[in-house]
Amino acid sequence: MRPSALEKQAVKNGMNSRLPLIAFAALLLGACAQVPLEQDAPASEAALQATPKRYPPATIEDAPLAAAKVARAHADEKAAPPPPDIWHRLRAGFRIPDMDNGRVRMWERWYAERPEYVEFMVEMGSHFLYYVAQEVERRNMPSEIALLPMIESAYNPYAYSRSHASGMWQFIRSTAKNYGLRQNYWYDGRRDVIAATNAALDYLQDLHETFGTWELAIAAYNFGENGMSRSIARNRKKKRPITYEKLWMPRETRNYFPKLQAVKNIISDPARFGLTLAYVPDRPYFASVKTDQHIDVKLAAELADVSIEEFRILNPAHNKPVIRVVDGADTILLPVGNVETFTKNLQAYDAPLVSWQAYRFKRRDRLSKIAAKYGVSMTYLKEVNSIHPRRRVRPGQTIVVPLKNGAKPYLPDLPAPRFIRVRYWPQPKKLEQRDTLTSAPRQSPTPLAQKPAPSTRLALTFEHSTQDDQLVTAYNRAD
């Protein structure tokens, strides 16, 4: 995967919802997966001999069990210690040999000086850490792997990089396709929490079998396996050691494992760095629900009685305001406690489930006339379609428009657009105005995403400029 870029700018402009958000630092250059090698080396003996530990998947049935455990814990809180959290589980599974050098200490200081950023990583990770840790354990992988999305994207499933990598695992399109992640106009599997996690873990296991150690496998996840193979071949030719420290690699990759080690050290002993990790329970946060009908994203959130922000965080793969069902069924993720509410409300709902459809822009069409025809403002139509206010819709481009009463929705199977336009960004609770693009260590690019205020709708434009070895993506208000 190609370089990461998430840590530099997240704390730059604070949470003032009235400030325009320009220079939204190129979030997450962290890990565009490369195309795998045609021939993989044999797996290491440890990998072949390891017996996976089986854990049940997160299911709807977990909800009442989890609720009962929490109730018992509250009742006995005076007599018993607090229930274990996800951090205990992760610490117990750490088994990659530690790295200890100046780069690790540099990144420890970087995170320690930015508690708001660490808080944001934990806040976003609280939705997904249980599922990822469970899948990592099921495959008998070290639990450090569950921390990789913190380096890639701060566990932000909407992360999108300068190299067009997407999702909390930062897949580029070619590798996503290689590992079975579906992408089209309506859906991007790179942002699907379940599908992308499984694909990323498959890829990491392949890298481990190819390169023999988790250090090199993790480096190859960032560097790309072809680049790592060339670097190893160069050292073999020169009879140099095949180790992380002795191999040539780009600056971003050179800092990649030290950043992971720094986060591991902080989770192992946050008090040593003056940090406090919020409590994240060691139980499922979400459960999956099957739906066999197309449904509006907003309506699905309403039927589940969750906020639209919460629904989008759990279901980021849907690019449009409609969840388009493929092959007769699709999956929606909901907080465990809202599954029953959604099921009951959906069964009782007798109105149309879809209020949008696709429209192919014609040569003589004007967006203002299309908006008037469907009874909405042009500004709103541009916002829904993530069209920059100063951009024009071109003939042949597909947009979504309101569905007229009684009409059957037209939701054709369309190819994925060349670039993904981000309409939404998860919100941290608070960030301080003290970090800039040049405040991070000079030894490595350290992208940090500046987060917009909750009421802000964003349209992503791909106009890049270079600043301190970073590509800065311009984000603009869409209203």
CA 470, CA 5: separation in Å to the nearest integer?
8
Q: Give the Cα separation of 40 and 34 in Å (integer).
A: 14
Active site residue 152: yes
- The 10 Å Cβ neighbour count of residue 420 is 20
Q: What is the distance between the alpha carbons of residues 90 and 93, in angstroms, rounded to a whole number? A: 5
CA–CA dist 23, 8 (Å, integer): 11
Cα 137 from Cα 114, distance rounded (Å): 30
The residues, ordered by sequence, that sit 6+ positions from 116 with a Cβ below 8 Å of its Cβ are: 10, 11, 428, 430, 431, 432
User: Which of 7, 135, 137, 152 is flagged as catalytic?
Assistant: 152
CA distances from 136 to 52, 68, 140, 143, 372 (A): 10, 26, 6, 6, 51
C-alpha–C-alpha distance, residues 118 and 129, integer Å: 14
Q: How far apart are CA 6 and CA 446, in angstroms?
A: 6
CA distance 435 to 442: 14
Residue 187: beta bridge partners?
318
Three-state DSSP at 401 gives strand
Residue 292: exposure state from Cβ atoms within 10 A (0-12, 13-18, ≥19): exposed
Interior CA angle at 150 toward 149 and 153, to 5°? 70
Tally Cβ neighbours within 10 Å of residue 223: 27
Using alpha carbons only, give the angle 242, 163, 473 rounded to the nearest 5 degrees.
130
Q: Determine contact, residues 95/139, Cβ cutoff 8 Å.
A: no
SS3 of 258, please? helix
Determine the Cα–Cα distance for residues 301 and 424; give it in Å rounded to an integer. 15
Q: How many residues does the chain have?
A: 479
Q: 187-209 as b/e, with b when 16 or more CB fall inside 10 Å?
A: bbbbbbbbbbbbbbbebbbbbbb
| Residues known to be catalytic | 152
